[in-house]
Structures are given as structure tokens and as C-alpha cells.
Amino acid sequence: MADSRLPAHLEIAAFLRLIEAQGGFGTVLAKGERDAGTVLLVTTENGQNAQLYERMPQLDGTRAWALSRVQEPDKSEEFSEYLARRARQDSDVWILEADVADGQRFIESLPR
């Protein structure tokens, strides 16, 4: 079965445009493999309350966004260290930060 996913670099470009269209700011924290890299999405609101989302395979073949880590307010360096460790462990991974008004709503608006 052929993989019908968009190349990672195109998906990242689309996310950045969507973030900007919603009045937010997006930036690439780690640049991964151009075509088949995994995408991790960090949402923040005014640089606060970071949450990390990853796509998880579902039984129906889709890949739903799932919350995998939340920044603790008094331990922001631990969250940053975790992201750096993920990037070191997987050179294919893309990490995108989306500073948007409502991170949960933004994630729910994304295609699976």
C-alpha cells in the first residue's frame, strides 16, 4: 500500500500558513527529513502553556493528533530539554511551534 501522506516539508509549510491565517505565529524548532519526517507540534499561547502533540496511528488507518506532553509552569527548561532530546534521537523529526489563541481548537481543526 502506498503512503498517501504529503511530504513533510509541504505539510510544515501548510501548517505555517494556517497558523498565520488564524492570527498566530509559527516557527520550525527542528527541521527533519524533507519527505518522510515525523511532525511534532508544540502549541503555546503568548509563549506560555506549551503542549506537545503527536500523531498516533488509529485502528481505522488515520493518524489522530494526541497530547503527549504538557509544560509544567515552574519547569519550562524540562520541556525544552525534552524537545531537544527528541530532535537528537530522531534526525527525521520536525518540531513546529504554533503560538495561537486556542491551541486545542487549532489541533482539532487539523486534518488527520
The rounded distance, in Å, linking the Cα atoms of 95 and 12 is 9
Cβ(100)–Cβ(45) below 8 Å: yes
pTM of the model: 0.89
**How close are the terminal C-alpha atoms of the chain, in Å?**
18
Q: Percentage of the chain with pLDDT > 90?
A: 73
Domain that holds residue 47: 8-109
- Is the residue at 95 inside a domain? yes
- Is the residue at 55 inside a domain? yes
pLDDT tens-digit series, residues 25-34: 999 999 999 9
What total number of domains does the chain contain?
1
pLDDT in the model for residue 1: 43
Q: Which residue has the higher pLDDT, 22 or 4?
A: 22
- Is the residue at 1 inside a domain? no
- Is the residue at 2 inside a domain? no
Give the mean pLDDT of the chain.
91
Q: What is the CATH number of the domain that holds 104?
A: 3.40.1530.20
Q: Which residue has the higher pLDDT, 95 or 3?
A: 95
The rounded distance, in Å, linking the Cα atoms of 18 and 80 is 24
Q: Is the dihedral of CA 55, 74, 86, 101 positive or negative?
A: positive
- Is the residue at 3 inside a domain? no
